[in-house]
Structure 1
Amino acid sequence: MTPSFHHVALIGKYHHAETGTVAPGSREVLEHIAAFLVGQGCRVSMEMQTADNGGFSGHAALTPQEIGEQCDLGLVVGGDGTMLSIGRKLARFSTPLIGINQGRLGFVTDIPLEELKTTLTPMLHGEFEEDRRQLMHGQVLRNGECVFDALAMNDVVVNRGATSGMVELRVEVDGHFVANQRADGLIVASPTGSTAYALSAGGPMLHPSIPGWVLVPIAPHTLSNRPIVLSDSAEIAIELVNGRDASASFDMQSLAALHKGDRILVRRSEYCVRFLHPRGWNYFDTLRRKLRWNEGGS
């Protein structure tokens, strides 16, 4: 049977964050997946960094831009961090992504490695559910000029310095003053990111179909400063009023050092990330499995 996807890019994570060494077994896993894809009638290419780090030479090595221009599917092997990184780069090409979970939790890399063949075979032939996730567009403005610009899938976070006290932040929504907050920081999270840092800071989980964001203070000085859910059509502005060594991070992967008076603007991006899931996939099944709800029950 001819596959629905003819040119598939393999994207993998090779390095341990702690040691910078090649992850044991990663090369063998990707070689096994590549052989499986070829057996399904797909042409396979490797993402450039994946190929370089793993020493692959049997398949073409492509940059993320080349993947977006040439491939009709990206297969991401790793954890959610790997998916966040490539998802932002491929969103403007509308390249669909399937996640194979080789990490620890995996809300968006949701296919277990041991179920690869049985799950992926029907997906390659058109049996899947599509799930679109809106990106966030963040900017840091200094004296009216943009000094940092990035996309985020999970969240934009303003954090205090590692050795300093709380930061004071002025928060506006659509140009309307909301509050001055003294806290360790502030999280603006998408529905995708509502199960990440925002959840650990006490924020609610948002279903991915909700066109909203959640604004979550981190350890606020005033306990009445609570998380709030906003429309994702709103523009959020966060001004650093006071605080040393503060920073703004985008998906915890891009970092901008902040100066007093800097404004962080967060808007809805024009781009979406396209995830493909197995037929019958349900968000609540993912939550129940990943958060271990009802363990010990029937």
Structure 2
Amino acid sequence: MSKRVPIPAVRRVLLYPRDGARAFEATLNATRWLREHAVAVKVCALTEGAGAEALRREGAEVVPHCDGLAEDCDLVVALGGDGTLLRASRWAAEAGVPVLGINLGDLGFLTAYQAEQGEIGLAAAVHGELAWEPRLRMQVELQRGGRVFLRETACNDAYIKHGEFPRLLSLATDVGGQFMATYKADGLIVCTPMGSTAYNLAAGGPIVAPSATAFTITPICPHSLTHRPVVVDAASLIEITYEGPVEGGAFLTIDGQTSVSLELGDRVVIDAAPDPLRLCPPEYSVFRVLATKLGWSAGMGGRTR
């Protein structure tokens, strides 16, 4: 899934900023620049007030939510960090619209441009110089009592974790119709390659190349030292049955956005989503970002190629 697909010169852009003064300033500047280049601009996720009026004066259409708006745009631009891009991706992916990230925080894994490079990214979009790459998503289904209780699509991960009172969970896991293990652990993470640098990484899971078509299953603080993260083919259906405990409970969380409590016997079924996220990839590889964040280049003379 590493094919790059050129994006024609954009004429309609949806801006999705995170909260905060820095993001508002970046959004205002992006709106001004895009309007000067005859690009129609919509801005969502902003509360009404002086900020919204300032954006309207620059020619933006300010909208209260993003649902159903991406279909009418050529590009979604997320202004923030990886979390902001991930939130934008949840509905942009469904619309089949590419997502470009402009990072306003620390060096991110997913954003294509840093804050000071924002206009460079916008210029590339306007001049038809951007391209997107497909990123695997997962379809997550919670089945309860033989019925589908919840169905959502995730770009990063889905995980089961104990509730307010820490209890060792029992999670029977099948892969591709074959029993794999019953995990005794604080929880279990299933992630896409893109999500491998999120909660999975913090839990000691492997870093997977973003273009891979695989899912990673990573236990959280397993009771058995022999339980280790496993990488499986994305074509293999993953089924997790919640077997207890009764007290304390557990939660299923999807992309950090949706969380629902589990009942005994609930089954979480995870499969590859039919349509990928169309991501304008970062200039640097995930391994370059890791080398910068974690100091992997130390002792190598600062080599970064």
TM-score by length of 2: 0.87
**Aligned letter for 2:231?**
V
Query: Post-superposition shift, 1:100?
Result: 0.6
Counterpart of 2:256? 252
**Aligned letter for 2:42?**
S
Is 1:40–2:37 an aligned residue pair?
Answer: yes
**Aligned letter for 1:50?**
L
* SS of equivalent to 1:180: strand
Deviations 1:40-62 (A, max 9, x none): 33111112x23548741412134
Counterpart of 2:23? 26
Counterpart of 2:171? 169
Contact 1:155 1:187 in 2 (8 A): yes
Query: Post-superposition shift, 1:295?
Result: 4.5
Counterpart of 2:278? 274
Query: Post-superposition shift, 1:191?
Result: 0.2
Deviations 1:99-118 (A, max 9, x none): 01123342112411012123
CA distance, structure 1, for counterparts of residue 50 and residue 14 of structure 2: 15
* SS of equivalent to 1:50: coil
Q: In structure 2, do the counterparts of structure 1 residues 189 and 53 end up closer, same or farther at CA, with 3 Å as the change threshold? A: farther
Query: Post-superposition shift, 1:283?
Result: 4.1
Is 1:288–2:291 an aligned residue pair?
Answer: yes
Counterpart of 2:141? 139
**Aligned letter for 2:136?**
Q
Query: Post-superposition shift, 1:236?
Result: 0.5
Deviates more, 1:182-191 or 1:24-33: 24-33
Contact 1:153 1:251 in 2 (8 A): yes
Counterpart of 2:239? 237
Deviates more, 1:188-197 or 1:74-83: 74-83
**Aligned letter for 1:60?**
E
Contact 1:129 1:281 in 2 (8 A): no
CA distance, structure 2, for counterparts of residue 84 and residue 117 of structure 1: 21
1:50 aligned to which of 46, 49, 55: 46
Deviations 1:153-172 (A, max 9, x none): 11110101231321011001
Where structure 1 has 5 or more consecutive residues not aligned to the other structure, the ranges are 15-22
CA distance, structure 2, for counterparts of residue 285 and residue 54 of structure 1: 40
* SS of equivalent to 1:137: strand
**Aligned letter for 1:220?**
P
Deviates more, 1:165-174 or 1:285-294: 285-294
Q: In structure 2, do the counterparts of structure 1 residues 230 and 253 end up closer, same or farther at CA, with 3 Å as the change threshold? A: same
Residue identity (%): 32
Deviations 1:188-234 (A, max 9, x none): 01000100111111111010111101100000000000011000111
Counterpart of 1:194? 196
CA distance, structure 2, for counterparts of residue 24 and residue 135 of structure 1: 32
Is 1:262–2:263 an aligned residue pair?
Answer: no
TM-score by length of 1: 0.89
CA distance, structure 2, for counterparts of residue 95 and residue 203 of structure 1: 30
Count of equivalent residues: 286
Q: How does 1:176-187 map to 2 (within 5 A)?
A: 176-187=178-189
Q: How does 1:75-114 map to 2 (within 5 A)?
A: 75-114=77-116
CA distance, structure 1, for counterparts of residue 50 and residue 203 of structure 2: 36
Deviates more, 1:119-128 or 1:194-203: 119-128
Q: In structure 2, do the counterparts of structure 1 residues 123 and 7 end up closer, same or farther at CA, with 3 Å as the change threshold? A: closer
Where structure 2 has 5 or more consecutive residues not aligned to the other structure, the ranges are 1-7
Contact 1:234 1:267 in 2 (8 A): yes
Contact 1:242 1:260 in 2 (8 A): yes
Contact 1:106 1:290 in 2 (8 A): no
CA distance, structure 2, for counterparts of residue 53 and residue 138 of structure 1: 37
CA distance, structure 2, for counterparts of residue 54 and residue 186 of structure 1: 44
Q: In structure 2, do the counterparts of structure 1 residues 132 and 286 end up closer, same or farther at CA, with 3 Å as the change threshold? A: farther
Contact 1:107 1:290 in 2 (8 A): no
